[in-house]
Chains A and B, each alone.
Chain A
């Protein structure tokens, strides 16, 4: 059976404030889903209901078809979780903490040993395996948390901003860990504010704002949807370009609806049209004597859609 996550009319109020509002989401199969939304959108609240850390006001959450609210233990047995950077008992070492996790999950001793080696290696914490967690930095703790969530080789993985507190290399490592996970028949739901990370590792995205699901779609569809809209492109030149040159040689190109200068050697152009139009503009600019060095969408398709959807919801 394919791994699955399902929210059925999931609602959570805090007093009169509705943090998650009748959320319906059905994710199935082996893939990574990015869970996006601005601060306070309700991502963590949703993930906490998926792990029974908090209880829904109404509705229900299912992991692999098992109700989290009715059977927390069974539902979470096939699921690895990392919600809100938890802390480990400070005097335990990573090895002991992972031992505990494995023991509580009912893994046999030799399997715990082998898996501990694997996951510690994956998060690059092998040399710290026998030091006390209490003295670790935030990022080191987060690495151990990631290791713990993967220890049992779970089918479903819930991650709330997994790269929080990690250095750039750590973030890259997390991306590669998640990509590896996807190869092995797993479903990953990951909240994140780093859209480039989501574009890099996720196959699908769900966007929430004010506790409501705005859309849930594949990244491919997100890119296709944007094909028709206006794209803003950053253009860089080898030499300073004059306003006159911008007006005559850039603004006049077919598809360009406007140009504005960023500084002497850089400008931003608004382009109406899909990839073909962009490609022609790029070719013409490269052929011109302006000295083109870079031509890059200033925002990814995901970013454009994200900003558009969020601002629509707020107006």
Chain B
């Protein structure tokens, strides 16, 4: 391909290793690119003010929790390992990941349009799918770091009150389910984020839905229509507590003929997995058709 015979002087930009233009075969595969991208995206997250904010929230909650436990630990919480993690982990972890999901995922895709960072990435030989996945992985890792920070604070307290044996297999299983739930939640967050090209709308919709929207829909569906809300991601959230022993009855008959539902173990896991898979597919399909106008 040398043009040396024509060009009066050699190129002043030294051709990279004399190899000339990059061969297409050198461009990494879809997943490889996604992982490479996620590393830089994660770096951007970890240096951002929002990460500092998220860590501060978790540390503040952790400090409050530690303080309350040290003063009022007679309340049964520190009586058994299952009670301790069943309420503090199963109750707190979903809140942590909802906040993390909103903070890291809410504008992940919308921001690419609004902040014009997408124009930088999409000019490269990379599939839209890699960009979507790379951002998803980065948001997942950043949220997981916050989640693990919360876990560390809890385990510290747990070991102090209940001994080293308290961090047992049930906690590991619950952590695994929580991470699955995070994957599903981020999937939904990313799906909403790619529906909007405006970061603010994306964050607002996601925050409203996950902070109270889904819960209200769930109450309405159960209270008025009397059907099991198996199609809501928040309904499956309670399986995070199931590894700690007490699995409530699937259908509970309340006073005055009121009925409430709890997912079975298998059903809860299926909802979470279903959400993770379907939202990922939906979001990817949407993003593949998205234009940077």
- Stretch touching chain A among B37-45, B86-94, B277-285: B37-45
A115 to B19 alpha-carbon distance, docked (Å): 13
Q: How many residues of B contact A (CB 8 A)?
A: 48
Decide: A72 near B291, CB < 8 A? Known: A105-B22, A106-B22, A122-B13. Answer: no
Q: How many residues of A contact B (CB 8 A)?
A: 59
A79 to B122 alpha-carbon distance, docked (Å): 12
Q: When the two chains form their complex, are residues B3 and A30 in contact, meaning their CB atoms are under 8 A apart?
A: yes
Q: Does A255 contact B (CB under 8 A)?
A: no
Q: When the two chains form their complex, are residues A114 and B292 in contact, meaning their CB atoms are under 8 A apart?
A: no
A199 to B63 alpha-carbon distance, docked (Å): 67
Q: Does A83 contact B (CB under 8 A)?
A: yes
Nearest CB in chain A: distance from B156 CB, A: 30
Nearest CB in chain B: distance from A188 CB, A: 13
Q: When the two chains form their complex, are residues A184 and B11 in contact, meaning their CB atoms are under 8 A apart?
A: yes
Q: Does B257 contact A (CB under 8 A)?
A: no
- Stretch touching chain B among A84-92, A212-220, A267-275, A301-309: A84-92
Q: When the two chains form their complex, are residues A145 and B3 in contact, meaning their CB atoms are under 8 A apart?
A: no
Q: When the two chains form their complex, are residues B293 and A77 in contact, meaning their CB atoms are under 8 A apart?
A: no
Closest to A99 in B: B40
* Interface 1/0 per residue, A74-103 and B, CB below 8 Å: 111111011111111111100011011101
A111: chain B residues at CB < 8 Å are 16-17
Q: When the two chains form their complex, are residues A154 and B292 in contact, meaning their CB atoms are under 8 A apart?
A: no
Q: Please report which residues of chain A, range 23-80, place their CB below 8 angstroms from some CB of chain B when the two chains form the complex.
A: 30, 48, 51-55, 66, 72-79
Task: Specify which of A51, A54, A104, A153 is in contact with B28 (CB 8 Å cutoff).
Answer: A104
Q: Does A21 contact B (CB under 8 A)?
A: no
Q: When the two chains form their complex, are residues B11 and A180 in contact, meaning their CB atoms are under 8 A apart?
A: yes
Task: Specify which of B6, B7, B21, B122 is in contact with A51 (CB 8 Å cutoff).
Answer: B122
Q: When the two chains form their complex, are residues B120 and A77 in contact, meaning their CB atoms are under 8 A apart?
A: no
B2: chain A residues at CB < 8 Å are 185
Q: When the two chains form their complex, are residues B125 and A105 in contact, meaning their CB atoms are under 8 A apart?
A: yes
Q: When the two chains form their complex, are residues A92 and B40 in contact, meaning their CB atoms are under 8 A apart?
A: yes
What are 6 of the A-B contact pairs (CB < 8 Å)?
A77-B125, A85-B119, A118-B14, A152-B22, A185-B2, A185-B20
Known: A53-B292, A101-B124, A184-B11. 8 other contacts (CB 8 A): A55-B291, A73-B125, A77-B26, A87-B120, A91-B47, A149-B123, A154-B22, A180-B12
